Each structure stands twice: as structure tokens, then as C-alpha cells.
Amino acid sequence: MHPFEPAQQPFEAEHHPFEPFLPEGARILFLGSFPPQPHRWSMPFYYPNWINDFWRILGLIHFGDKDHFCLPAQKRFDEAAIRTFCTAHGLAFYDTATAVRRLKDNASDAFLEVVSPTDIRALLARIPRCGTLVTTGEKASSIVAQTFGCAVPPVGGNIDLNLPDRPLRFWRMPSTSRAYPLPLEKKAQAYRQLFPPTDLL
């Protein structure tokens, strides 16, 4: 290092900004990696980035309208409608890390260093009716596989886990980030497998 160059500051750990969303009777737990920085949020809830398509995928699957959870003429998702929908359908949310360091100033999983992984078993203990665990990216899938000592399913596929308190189906879904090179309709086709036909249009 040149003697007049300032020392590089270490990356500070960033702690998870949201509490786990665990509605009573939850049957599906979605686990991502970690939320983006707050300036990228369009709402203070999971998958808050306006250019992340998670809520468009669920809108397309359940209502035939990718904009169902979007507020008209605003680049924001309808948090109240999302919370109501997820509670009614037993959808729970958290992430696979409770603290991370961002090695670059972006939301990419490739530059996230996990400081504290989530205690996924403890999370599941709080939702005893949950029989489906879904990861929405490569890093989240790897952490779940490490937690349970299992293989990582193929994208769009699943494996069955026999936990001491329940059987659990572990699905790995395609990332809902637009950086993941798959059309919205193809992603929705993969996510549709998670829901019984009675839930769908």
C-alpha cells in the first residue's frame, strides 16, 4: 500500500431488518438470502425491490395478473394486500442469514458474505404445520443444504427430508431477480408447482 493511501475500511456487518413473517398455520416457508439495502426497497417487507419479480410471479399464478400486487401508477408493491394474502394462504418468509457483509454496494448474492446463518430448525419449530421449504436463490439453497446435510435440488425441483418432527419437502426455485436469465412466465411455471390446484386460477 502507498504510504499516503488510507487504510481500507473493513466491511461492516449488516443485520436483518425484518422479523420473520410466520402466520399461524403457515404451510410454506420461503427463504431467500438477505434483503437488499433500504434505498432499494419499495416497501418494508420481503422481496421489496421493485425490479424483483417475486410478487409479480405470485400475482400471475394466483390472479392471472402480474401487476396484482403493484400499486397503480406507483413503483411500489401493496404491502397490506401482500400481508393479507400471505396470511390467508399460509405463506411464511425469512432469509438464510441474519447478518451479512456486502462486499460490493449491490444486492447480488455473489458479493454477500454470511456472518450469521439463520437457525432454520428453530424457525421451523415456530411453524409446526409447515411441510414445504422453498429457497429462491443459489446461496439460500446452499445454506439449507448445509443445515440439513442434504443435496441441493435442481432448479425447479425438490427433495424430501425426514426431520425428527416432520417430513419436509425442500424446493429450489429459480431466483426472482431479473439478473436470473429466465422469462417471468417460465419462473411462474416453476413456482406454480408449490401450490395445490385449488389455490390457482
> What are the structural domains of the chain?
14-194 (3.40.470.10)
Confidence of residue 6 (pLDDT cuts 50, 70, 90): very low
Query: Is residue 106 scored above 70 in pLDDT?
Result: no
Q: What's the longest Cα–Cα distance across the chain?
A: 68
- Confidence at 5, pLDDT banded by 50, 70, 90: very low
Whether 38 has a pLDDT exceeding 50, the answer reads yes
Cell triple for 89: 394462504
Residue range 69-95: mean pLDDT, rounded: 96
Residue 7 reports pLDDT greater than 80: no
Residue 42 near residue 68 (C-beta atoms within 8 A): no
In this prediction, residues 181-193 reach a mean pLDDT of: 96
Calpha distance 16→39 (Å, rounded): 15
Question: For residue range 53-64, what is the model confidence (pLDDT) as tens digits?
Answer: 999 999 999 999
Q: What is the pLDDT of residue 69?
A: 98
Please tell me the predicted confidence (pLDDT) of residue 57.
98
Q: Is the pTM of this model over 0.85?
A: yes
Question: How many residues are present in the chain?
Answer: 201
Q: What percent of the chain has pLDDT over 70?
A: 90
Residue 3 has pLDDT above 70, yes or no: no
* Grid coordinates belonging to 11: 466491511
Asked if 174 contacts 134 with a C-beta cutoff of 8 angstroms, the reply is: no
- Other residues' Cβ atoms within 10 Å of the Cβ of residue 110: 10
